A and B are shown apart, each in its own frame.
Chain A
Amino acid sequence: MDADAVAEDVTGGRPIGVAIVDDHPVVIDGVRAWLASEPRLRVLATGDDPDVVLRAAPEADVVLLDLRLHGRMVLDKLAELSAAGWRVVVYSEHGDPETMLAALDAGAAAFLAKHEGREHCVATVLAAATDRPYVPPTLAGAMVGDPRPDRPALSDKEREALLLWFQSMSKASVARRMRISEHTVKQYVDRARIKYTRAGRPAATKAALLARAIEDGLVRPEEIGIYRSHAQTDRPTP
């Protein structure tokens, strides 16, 4: 599973606090059950109002936010939380690419389609807690199919990795198909995601993702901001 690399980085100390915001109690229970399978995660507060939930759990590391609350898309609330530095993982049954990309632009740490299931959910939350990218297959599809003229310039390898990951949901298969290692596949996918931190308005969460990516050696500082001229420099960093 692709969360392994992330898991090693989470030190054994304090568990990761998660707040769940959804207006359907049954969904909250379901997500809580998913997260309960991972000992490093602890659900601190749940509810249908982000402000109330976050007041109850100000120490939450990750907020799982249903993008549709009481019949309204809360992209503005997402932008507000992200600007304030909350690591928000959006999960939604609205898996249309426009919504997904809008959520990334608004500063979401990740976007998870509700049907993507437990493993992707846990992996996404673990990655988000350490400001690392995680791209579930559906989001990969939205990124590689991004039709907007101002979309980030992805390299051919990054696009191919995203496409194959979207299609197969198996990084092992992608690795075989591209004749590279699974680790490299993940690097291509993650680098594509990091390029998306440059899209939309700035947010604290985007800066944190970018900073961690540089720290991890996923991207080089000189690559930031001038992606177009570096489009062919897609050799993964060691």
Chain B
Amino acid sequence: MATESGTALPPAVAAAGAVAAEPVPAGAARRAVPRSRGSAPGAVPAARPEAATVASAAADASDRGARIAAVTIALAWHLAISLPAVLGAWQRMAAPVLVGAGWLVTAGVGVATGVRLLRGGPPPARRLAVALLVVDAVVFAAAGKAVLFTPANWVWSGLAWFFLLVLWRRPVGWLLMLLGAHASIALGAVLTHGATAPADLTRYAMYVYGTSSLPVAVFAGAAALAALARDRTRTAAAAGAVAAERVAAEQARQERQARLALVSGTAEEVLAALAAGDADPADPEVRRRCVLAAARLRRLIAEADDVPDPLLHELRAAADLAERNGLPIELIAVGAPPELPVEVRRRLADPLTAALAAARDWARITVLAGPDEVVVSLVTPDHDGPDPIGLDPPRDGTGRRDDPPADGPRPAPSAACRRGGQVTAGDPPEPDGGGPVEHVHERDGEIRWTQTRWRRT
């Protein structure tokens, strides 16, 4: 809780009550302003989730070629090398039917996986890997010793490419594990068939190396390419977001300049009246108009959309000004306001700024903020002076015009004799996430209480 300035204030006790409310005019034309950084066209927060999707799409596109190559190699090898070898050695194999069945199963797996890879998501890696390993073991056993080191034992050289297809885009460790299992099955078969002469073992080693190195290289290369593409796209997306933010900031700046011109106009009006002698500086009404014009100018200058918390920033700026005029002010904020549309923020802050200009003795500003509700309040001692001017929301130069409240600024009342029902006016919900801002102003002889409240709809 940020206590800007501490004054021990006795909670007031009062008997007489006067309650009044200033409705915020409904139906004010909405301005086409960047509502906030988040909702400005193409601004950063909106771009971030997209960036991830875009990056993964880029990675997807970049390794499409690699996928086509892998599918082609696997199936071409299967068809052009393995099949003729199997058919040619049919008579010499221990159980040729099993070997042939294994070839068919693998072909099926290869075609299904290839379609999956080129059309959509990754294939069910685990189940297919297990199926391939079963085929692996069966064919090794069924081929027999006679064709162990020949192309007819097609699983040894051909199956690795199918491992590659099944495990596409999975961690490279999975492929290494599968190739390890493949090598173990082969070793088991070599030992079972009694091919343990040094020459056989050397051939085994050569086979393992020869059949694994190329698929691993292709697999790792494709993974690296995809990662690279993903990185590049992410960088490009971030650059795009920065550019979008710059555009939004420029819009906000122009918007502010337009409003600055308008508010400067009202300030000039007062200054001109003073200079021409039409306005008397001794008139409290004129002085209040000056303070108010200055507060608005200051608030506008403080209204930088890049400040982390613009609402608090604005209120603080108004408080600073009032404080400089000798008014002790307490400003306590609980919670962090959510990102609010500029319009909502102004409706929350403007009545407070106006009331602050009429405050005497002391003022207590509180801000209570949650993700779905922000309540701003100003409490000051009541006095016989008029209610602050400008409690109707200000006009600005962007086509919006707020009609003053039907009951207008109040005449100077004797506080104790005004007793009324509380009227609370809410705006109709803003079309895009604004939500209504409720504005209550009341005085009960003891305190003047201005409260604005925004609720997410």
| A residues apposed to B, CB below 8 Å | 1-2, 95-97, 100, 113-119, 137-138, 141-142, 144-145, 147, 163, 166-173, 176-177
Known: A117-B8, A170-B13. A147 touches B19 (CB 8 A): no
Is there an interface contact between A177 and B1, defined as CB atoms closer than 8 Å? Answer: no
User: Given the complex of chains A and B, what is the CA–CA distance between A95 and B9 in angstroms?
Assistant: 16
Across the interface, which residues of A come within 8 angstroms of B17, CB to CB?
A: 176
Chain B 10-28 per-residue mask, 1 if CB under 8 angstroms from chain A, else 0: 1111110101000000000
Cβ contact of A100, chosen from B1, B2, B369, cutoff 8 A: B1
Is there an interface contact between B8 and A169, defined as CB atoms closer than 8 Å? Answer: no
- Which positions 356-387 of chain B face chain A at CB distance < 8 Å? 364, 366, 368-370, 375, 377, 379
The residue in chain B whose Cβ has the minimal distance to the Cβ of A174 is B11
Is there an interface contact between A172 and B3, defined as CB atoms closer than 8 Å? Answer: no
- The A interface, classified by DSSP as helix, strand, loop or mixed, is helix
5 of the cross-chain contacts (CB-CB < 8 Å) are: A1-B10, A97-B1, A117-B8, A147-B370, A168-B449
Is there an interface contact between A177 and B449, defined as CB atoms closer than 8 Å? Answer: yes
Across the interface, which residues of B come within 8 angstroms of A142, CB to CB?
A: 1, 334
Q: How large is the interface on B (under 10, 10 to 19, 20 to 34, 35 or more residues)?
A: 20 to 34
Known: A97-B334, A173-B446. A167 touches B451 (CB 8 A): yes
Is there an interface contact between A167 and B366, defined as CB atoms closer than 8 Å? Answer: yes
Across the interface, which residues of B come within 8 angstroms of A166, CB to CB?
A: 332, 334, 366, 368
CB of B392 within 8 A of chain A? no
CB of B314 within 8 A of chain A? no
Given contact pairs A117-B8, A177-B422, a sample of 17 additional A-B residue pairs in the complex whose CB atoms are under 8 Å apart: A97-B335, A100-B1, A114-B6, A138-B1, A141-B366, A145-B334, A145-B370, A147-B335, A166-B334, A166-B366, A166-B368, A168-B379, A172-B11, A173-B12, A173-B444, A176-B14, A177-B442
Is there an interface contact between B8 and A116, defined as CB atoms closer than 8 Å? Answer: yes
User: Given the complex of chains A and B, what is the CA–CA distance between A138 and B364 in angstroms?
Assistant: 12
Across the interface, which residues of B come within 8 angstroms of A1, CB to CB?
A: 10-11, 13
Is there an interface contact between A169 and B449, defined as CB atoms closer than 8 Å? Answer: no
Is there an interface contact between A145 and B335, defined as CB atoms closer than 8 Å? Answer: yes
CB of B447 within 8 A of chain A? yes
Across the interface, which residues of B come within 8 angstroms of A113, CB to CB?
A: 1, 3
The residue in chain B whose Cβ has the minimal distance to the Cβ of A98 is B1
7 A-B pairs closest in CB distance: A117-B8, A115-B6, A145-B334, A167-B377, A170-B12, A169-B11, A95-B1
Known: A145-B370, A163-B375. A170 touches B335 (CB 8 A): no
The residue in chain A whose Cβ has the minimal distance to the Cβ of B12 is A170
Minimum CB–CB distance for B162 against chain A, Å: 50
Known: A173-B14, A173-B446, A176-B444. A95 touches B8 (CB 8 A): no
